Amino acid sequence: MTSQASSVAATAAAGQRAAIYRDGIVGLPGCFSTEWADHLHADFETAYTEAKTQPKGLIGRGPCRHYFAVHPERIRGFVDLVTHPSITALCIEMLGPDYLIIELGFDVPSPGATTQPWHRDFATPPETEHGVLTSLAFNLTTIDVTPELAPFEIAPGTHFDDGSRFDHGMFPRREDYPRYDALASRRFPRRGDVSARTGLTLHRGTEHFGDRARPVLILGVVTGDTDPADIEVHDLTVTRTYHQTLPASVRDHLRCTVVDELQPIEQRHDIEGLMMGG
């Protein structure tokens, strides 16, 4: 990372932070090359094929939708991702210099997927009830998104809505859907684009009319003082050999378990409310 790139990214991060606090999401277009994104897609294909052969290798997110966590070293561009100037600058701006990387996984809507119910990724934490966001999800598509490929839909500005009447703090009442429908904005990222959002903004995956899966890599980041017991994600695991190759700037932010040999991941964090279509 050059000092000039860091300076430019740090300047832009203030505006990006303002956009997330206003809308719940911000786009970071063109962070990576299409070739980089194609490598990511190839890594997805390998990991997805393996996950489908493992007991509990995938977890449902609705009809014809799956999620699965992935080991960082299975993604060739992992270090590129977590050291990209725009991503690190936004993490620092939003979450502080001690931010922690705690999640890496793929969300996969496949042909036949139906529209999800409006939802949040988790219930509102106490800090956010006082206007402070404590986590970010970075999304990276592995293919160019078109209208038939179940584009992500978000209701901007709903991340601070009172969720006390939401089912499990995540699912709003059906009678409130017209408001979210009126706000709905679909996103059509291209390979190499990144988006950053708070999981508290109401969102959903839409119907899939295409003929191939639309994978998206999700990188989860939280504030350094987040209690691990409050995080319902898989612990990141890396091998000792891989850990030693990571730059100190990555190791300092990676909350992970170091092992001698990787084992297949048994997926968890089931979200029952997503198993029915919207």
R_g (Cα) of the chain, nearest Å: 18
User: Does the model's pTM come out above 0.75?
Assistant: yes
What's the CA gap between 192 and 35, in Å, rounded? 8
Stretch 58-63: mean pLDDT? 90
Cβ(197)–Cβ(159) below 8 Å: no
What's the CA gap between 108 and 155, in Å, rounded? 21
Q: What is the DSSP letter of 265?
A: -
Cβ(137)–Cβ(121) below 8 Å: yes
User: Does residue 237 surpass a pLDDT of 80?
Assistant: yes
Strand partners, 205: 152
β-strand pairing of 152-154 with 65-69: unpaired
User: Does residue 267 surpass a pLDDT of 90?
Assistant: no
User: Does residue 228 surpass a pLDDT of 60?
Assistant: yes
Secondary structure element (H or E) that encloses residue 61, with its range: none
What are the structure tokens assigned to 99, written together?
Answer: 């931010």
What's the CA gap between 277 and 248, in Å, rounded? 44
Output b/e per residue, 244-278; b: 16+ Cβ within 10 A. Answer: eebeeebeebbbbeeeeeeeebebeeebeebeebb
- Which of the four CATH numbers 3.40.47.10, 2.60.120.620, 3.30.70.1400, 3.20.130.10 does domain 3-266 have? 2.60.120.620
What's the CA gap between 194 and 20, in Å, rounded? 14
In the chain, which ranges are E strands? 25-28, 59-60, 65-69, 100-109, 135-141, 152-154, 185-186, 194-197, 203-205, 216-222, 236-239, 256-259
User: Does residue 278 surpass a pLDDT of 60?
Assistant: no
More confident residue, 235 or 47: 47
pLDDT at 221: 97
The predicted-structure confidence for 63-109, as pLDDT tens digits, reads as follows 999 999 999 999 999 999 999 999 999 999 999 999 999 999 999 99
pLDDT at 277: 56
The predicted-structure confidence for 117-168, as pLDDT tens digits, reads as follows 999 999 999 999 999 999 999 999 999 999 999 999 999 999 999 999 999 9
What's the CA gap between 65 and 112, in Å, rounded? 9
What are the structure tokens assigned to 138, written together?
Answer: 């970075």
Strand partners, 257: 237
Confidence of residue 2 (pLDDT cuts 50, 70, 90): low
pLDDT at 10: 84
Place of tokens 């089931």: 270
pLDDT at 52: 94
Strand partners, 68: 106
The predicted-structure confidence for 167-201, as pLDDT tens digits, reads as follows 999 999 999 999 999 999 999 999 999 999 999 99
The predicted-structure confidence for 6-34, as pLDDT tens digits, reads as follows 778 888 999 999 999 999 999 999 999 99
More confident residue, 63 or 230: 63
